[in-house]
Structures are given as structure tokens and as C-alpha cells.
Amino acid sequence: MPTSKRPTRKKPVAAARCGVALSSTELRGEHQRGVVLRLKRAEGQIRGVLRMIEAGESCDDIAQQLAAARTALDRAFFEMMACSLESEIVDATDSGKRHERVSEILRVLSKYA
């Protein structure tokens, strides 16, 4: 009896992480998709938390979901900051300007992270 195999879905690998050189615009698009997906995940988790509160679920269960939503938001933030750093490294031709921009990004990281 033949077994039917479902095709396995592979997660898309960011081309920049597997050694393929991407342009700054392509890198930004990869990061943007990642940030949007993470924000949508957080949005769904927050909607779930609201439903849990309305349903009177336990504080422990609600706290767990809030922590998951917070983690999703943190990861979206870091993905966005990684995009900024990567674009500065790829785009900057003047090392003085690159240093200035990277310093600004680090300031944002220390302020909001």
C-alpha cells in the first residue's frame, strides 16, 4: 500500500543569511516582511489576551500570553534595528557617516531596548 506523503514546507531562509549577496532594498524587504509577521503574531496574541480576560481565565494563563506578546514585540523591534544596522553597513560609502549612523542606531537601542 503506497503511503501518501504530504509535501513538507520549509521555512523561507533569508538569503542574506545563507551567503547570497542582496541589495540594500532586498535586505530591507526581507526585514520588513519579518517585522510585519512578528507584529501580526503579537496582534493575534493580544486579541487572545483580551478574549481570555473577558472569559475570566486565570491570571497565570493571561500572564503567560502577555509575556508571549511582549516577546513578539521585542523581536519585531530587534528585527527592525537589525535592518537599520545592515542597511548602514551595506549602503554607507563614507566611514565617518557610517560611524555616525551606527552610533545613532546604538543610541536608539539603548534608549528603547
* Tally of CB atoms within 10 A around 79: 19
* Distance between CA atoms of residues 79 and 36, nearest Å: 10
Its pTM stands at 0.65
Query: Distance between alpha carbon 33 and the CA centroid of its chain, in Å?
Result: 8
CATH of 23-112, one of 3.40.50.10140, 1.10.150.120, 1.20.58.1000, 3.40.50.720: 1.20.58.1000
14 pLDDT band, cuts 50/70/90, is very low
Distance CA 42, CA 44 (A): 5
Q: To 10 degrees, the CA torsion angle through 17, 15, 28, 75?
A: -50
User: What is residue 64's predicted lDDT score, i.e. its pLDDT?
Assistant: 95
Stretch 61-86: mean pLDDT, rounded?
Answer: 90
Domain boundaries, the chain: 23-112
Q: What is the pLDDT of residues 84-107, one digit of tens each?
A: 888 777 777 778 888 888 888 888
Residues 75-85, mean pLDDT to the nearest whole number:
86
Q: What pLDDT was estimated at residue 19? A: 45
